[in-house]
Amino acid sequence: MSYSLLSDANQRLEKALRYVSLSDDVTERLRYPKASLSVSIPVRMDDGSLRVFQGYRVRYDDSRGPTKGGVRFHPHVTLDEVQSLAFWMTFKCAVLNLPFGGAKGGITLNPKELSKFELERLSRGYVDAIADFIGPDIDIPAPDVYTNPMIMGWMMDQYSIIQRKIIPAVVTGKPISMGGSLGRETATAMGAFFVIQTAMTHFSQSPAQTTVAIQGFGNAGAVLAELMFRAGYQVVAVSDSQGGVYAKQGLDIPSIRRLKDSSRGIRAVYCEGSVCSTVEHASITNEELLELDVDILIPAALENQITAENADKIRARYVFEVANGPTNSAADAILEAKGIHVFPDILVNAGGVTVSYYEWVQNRSGFYWSLDEVNRRLEQSMTAETEKIWAIAQELSVSLRTAAYVHALNRLGDAIQAKGTQDYYVS
């Protein structure tokens, strides 16, 4: 049988189920996505030709509220991937106690090959195709890999055109001028930073003594690298899809960000820019970065980076999963046996959807918050849920991942059981 991301994701659920006492109804419900939509999106290209793109939207579970999750544009998008991402969103929203279920969307393409006009027609075409499947009280898309506020703005606008009224709460991660929330763009990184700060207090580890390697230099990875650099951590390695750089004494992250913005990639900018002459650096591949001897490893790119093939070579003491699904279930067991603490994606990267929730609340109330208000609430939530998961892990002697699933399952279970279970009907 071919490898399925969704069945791999489901193994985390099976493991956590051993530690909760919930009705079998809950388990049965959570094993399958509620609804999966596949659509063809015809797009008129700039040269006049017509291309048809394949798109998906999956609503995994809505027991706790309307479903929520991003839309990714990537050449590797498949229905299986979108279903597992929707599964993770279900647990992520429950971990943060957001009144949402989980969903995800995607279009299979390389967005770098499309012009802005083509991207706009594609984004609007996607909304035309899924308009009956989404809505502020049904399912709310947001940004994910290779999608951004401009694309969210087009999607919200298209939905409003279809409905013949302005409906900002149908999509989050919009430009501020179209009803976006302050702090949404940096929320994933900020949320991860709050988790890391909370976790490090339990290990009595100060930033200055802590070395960090980050795989992925997109919206989440680059902002987090800078937050950690400014807090005094030694960020010794960063990479993007082209490769990365390593400097034992630490990298100058703000310079790398500045140079990357105006150039082609981390390796090129770092070695052609002024910092190159002042810091002894080495080029490394993405695979080498994962295996560095550092305190903290942060996979912030795509899923399935740490697998049975390389888990044994991971030397970090702590892994914080900023990407969705960077570690598969076979690797979980190996990392656990090595005593590596893995802080799971459904907690670590939940800052993005948490501020999406704040955006949805602001859109619905028509009252907008200051950046301080957003960040204060985010810090409070991320810190509190990290502490709860830490306490569950201690109490049950389980990994932090299993603890996070137990925590989410208890909340999901309450919602599913509240509608009635077998015991209620047959007793």
Residues marked as catalytic = 104
Euclidean distance between CA atoms 318 and 328, whole angstroms: 16
The correct pick among 55, 69, 191, 344 for binding ligand GLU (CB under 6 A) is 69
Q: What minimum distance in Å lies between the beta carbon of 145 and ligand GLU?
A: 8
Decide whether 55 or 173 has the Cβ nearer to ligand GLU: 173
Cα separation values, 137 from 64, 76, 297, Å: 12, 30, 38
Residue 173 — φ and ψ, nearest 5°? 80, 25
Decide whether 69 or 180 has the Cβ nearer to ligand GLU: 69
The correct pick among 12, 64, 68, 281 for binding ligand GLU (CB under 6 A) is 68
70 counts as binding ligand GLU under rule CB under 6 A: yes
Binding mask 324-343 for ligand GLU (x = CB under 6 A): x-------------------
The correct pick among 234, 349, 363, 375 for binding ligand GLU (CB under 6 A) is 349
353 counts as binding ligand GLU under rule CB under 6 A: yes
The correct pick among 84, 90, 356, 381 for binding ligand GLU (CB under 6 A) is 356
The correct pick among 105, 168, 180, 352 for binding ligand GLU (CB under 6 A) is 352
Q: Which residue is nearest to ligand GLU (CB)?
A: 70
Q: What minimum distance in Å lies between the beta carbon of 91 and ligand GLU?
A: 11
Decide whether 125 or 325 has the Cβ nearer to ligand GLU: 325
Euclidean distance between CA atoms 309 and 30, whole angstroms: 29
The correct pick among 83, 123, 158, 172 for binding ligand GLU (CB under 6 A) is 172
Question: Which positions ≥6 away from 330 have C-beta within 8 Å?
Answer: 307, 308, 311
The correct pick among 142, 224, 292, 393 for binding ligand GLU (CB under 6 A) is 142
Residues of this chain, 216-275, that bind ligand GLU according to CB under 6 A:
none
Decide whether 10 or 148 has the Cβ nearer to ligand GLU: 148
175 C-beta neighbours (distance < 10 Å), count: 15
Piece of the chain touching ligand GLU by CB under 6 A; list 39-47, 326-334, 345-353, 374-382: 345-353
Euclidean distance between CA atoms 12 and 87, whole angstroms: 11
DSSP 326-381: -B-HHHHHHHHHTT-EEE-HHHHTTHHHHHHHHHHHHHHHT----HHHHHHHHHHH
Contact 319, 299 (CB under 8 A): yes
Decide whether 37 or 346 has the Cβ nearer to ligand GLU: 346
Euclidean distance between CA atoms 106 and 139, whole angstroms: 14
Decide whether 211 or 324 has the Cβ nearer to ligand GLU: 324
Q: What minimum distance in Å lies between the beta carbon of 131 and ligand GLU?
A: 18
Size of the site for ligand GLU (CB under 6 A): 12
Amino acid at 359: E
Strands 243-246, 211-215: pairing is unpaired
Piece of the chain touching ligand GLU by CB under 6 A; list 37-45, 66-74, 387-395, 399-407: 66-74
Cα separation values, 405 from 224, 320, 355, 391, 410, Å: 24, 16, 21, 13, 8
Contact 248, 242 (CB under 8 A): no
Specify the residue for token string 């969704």: 6
Decide whether 51 or 76 has the Cβ nearer to ligand GLU: 76
Question: Which positions ≥6 away from 350 have C-beta within 8 Å?
Answer: 92, 93, 95, 96, 191, 382, 385
Euclidean distance between CA atoms 341 and 335, whole angstroms: 8
Binding positions for ligand GLU, rule: CB under 6 A: 68-70, 142, 144, 172-173, 324, 349, 352-353, 356
